[in-house]
Amino acid sequence: MKKDTSTEDKIREAARQVFLAKGFDGCTSREIANAAGENVALVNYYFRSKSQLFKIIFEAAMDDFILSMVQVFGSDKTLEEKMRIFIEHEYAFLEKHPELPSFILNEMNREEGCTMDHQKYFLKVAETGIFEECFKAQEEGRMRSISLSSIPLLIMSNCHYPVMAKNMLMQLHGMTSTEYDENLNLHKKLVSDMLVNFLFPQSN
């Protein structure tokens, strides 16, 4: 009789949870095994090493992180609508995965640093046609003519940072977690308005 969840999957899921919460340096093989309710040796039996297991988790997390952003681009809305939907979508996604931005950024800053398959992600974005759409909108004056690398940076800054800095800002403002989340919901609207007004100046 097959078990409902395989040991391999249990370890993978426990590893994901532990790695995302504490980072590679911040946890041990035994901690992952305990979280999975399994023996330490099974971690290496199924995944050869802590590093190997981490690599799998990191790459899956990077997929989640990047691809969650891409899927909006393909729709048949105007750029301005896409922008608003994108931000809405990103805030909703981060509500479910609040540890993701910190995890990705930290692990990429590590010395034995993680790398990403940037071709893979670049292609995913390119094939939505969003680049051409932006160039056209910039030529026609519908969109502010700024570097195409600044646009995602503006969006990510205003979507990711508020989630990443939650613990610090809660303490700084003396807020509870739910208070912060409520403010975040209001902040989302500000971000949306600000970015749309800035990138599509005629839309006022």
Partner DNA sequence: TCTTGTTTTAAACAAACGTTTAAAATCCTT
Partner DNA sequence: AAGGATTTTAAACGTTTGTTTAAAACAAGA
Q: Which of 3, 4, 96, 115 binds a copy of itself (CB under 8 A)?
A: 115
CB of 135 to a copy of itself, least distance (A): 16
Phi, psi dihedral angles at 119 (to 5 degrees): -60, -50
CB of 119 to a copy of itself, least distance (A): 9
The interface with DNA within residues 96-115 (CB under 7 A) comprises none
User: Contact 191/159 with Cβ under 8 angstroms?
Assistant: yes
Q: Which of 6, 146, 177, 185 binds a copy of itself (CB under 8 A)?
A: 146
Rounded Cα distance, 184 and 3, in Å: 41
Q: Which of 79, 104, 134, 137 binds a copy of itself (CB under 8 A)?
A: 104
Give Cα 46 to chain centroid, integer Å: 27
Among residues 136, 160, 163, the alpha carbon closest in space to that of 148 is found at 136
- Taking each helix axis as running N to C, give the angle between helix 177-199 and helix 79-96, from 0 to 180 degrees, rounded to the nearest 10: 160
The interface with DNA within residues 22-61 (CB under 7 A) comprises 27-31, 38-45, 48-51
CB of 132 to DNA, least distance (A): 46
* Encoded tokens for 106: 């930290």
List all residues 6 or more positions away from 136 whose beta carbon is below 8 Å from its beta carbon.
none
Q: What is the dihedral of CA 126, 132, 135, 137, to 10 degrees?
A: -120
Q: Binding residues for a copy of itself, per CB under 8 A?
A: 21-23, 25-26, 66, 102, 104-106, 108-111, 113, 115-116, 118, 121-122, 146-147, 149-150, 153-154, 156-158, 160-162, 164-165, 167-169, 171-175, 183, 186-187, 190-191, 193-195, 197-198
- Residue numbers of the site for DNA (CB under 7 A)? 1-3, 7, 27-31, 38-45, 48-51
